[in-house]
Structure 1
Amino acid sequence: MPAHFDLQQFQAMTPLDGDNIWAYLLDHHAERITVKRRKPALENIEKIFRATFKLANEVGFRTMNLRDLCRETGLSMGAVWLHQQQGPAGGNDRRCGAPCYP
């Protein structure tokens, strides 16, 4: 993987486009991710992914933290933490607040 890996490169590696990738992630991991309102959940997943790529390229994945992610997304710490904990990987990486999606 190149040192600088952005959202566009991630999307280019998948057969999904920008409109359906978030729905795919939510649906594919429905047994782990529970939502009451689908549209805001999809919007938040997109915000978290975009912010994760941006911050990882600016400060490094291991350096970024939950506060950085909250500031970048505009989401509360609780909302970001919940998405990370319910994410497909179950929040395996406790060193940072970044979502641990495959």
Structure 2
Amino acid sequence: ILYSYKHGDFLATIAKNIKCGKTTVHDTLKRYAQTGSTMPRKCPGPKSIFNKSALEELRKIGPIVPIRSTINGEVYTKLIRRHAIFAICQLVPNGQ
């Protein structure tokens, strides 16, 4: 994309040549102008549901391991995670 653009090709021509959308070409060139890189930024991910003091209490309990369970052959990690979080919240004193 950068090579073609620097050699005078139009966005639509670049998009047609590499078989992608014009918006993709535009976003890539815009990102390169802003950051100097064509790589997308990393997403921050979900916010933690625990504050610092709660996390310290969790670390005192021991290592956190992923919990998985199967019901009728299907994995219900979301359900298990919700129950695990509820149980952990019961261990942390109120107001923390």
Q: Please state which band the TM-score falls in when normalised by the shorter chain.
A: under 0.3
Which structure has the higher relative contact order (CA within 8 Å, separation 6+)? Answer: 1
Structure of higher CA gyration radius = 2
TM-score computed with the length of structure 2 as normaliser: 0.27
Higher strand share: 2
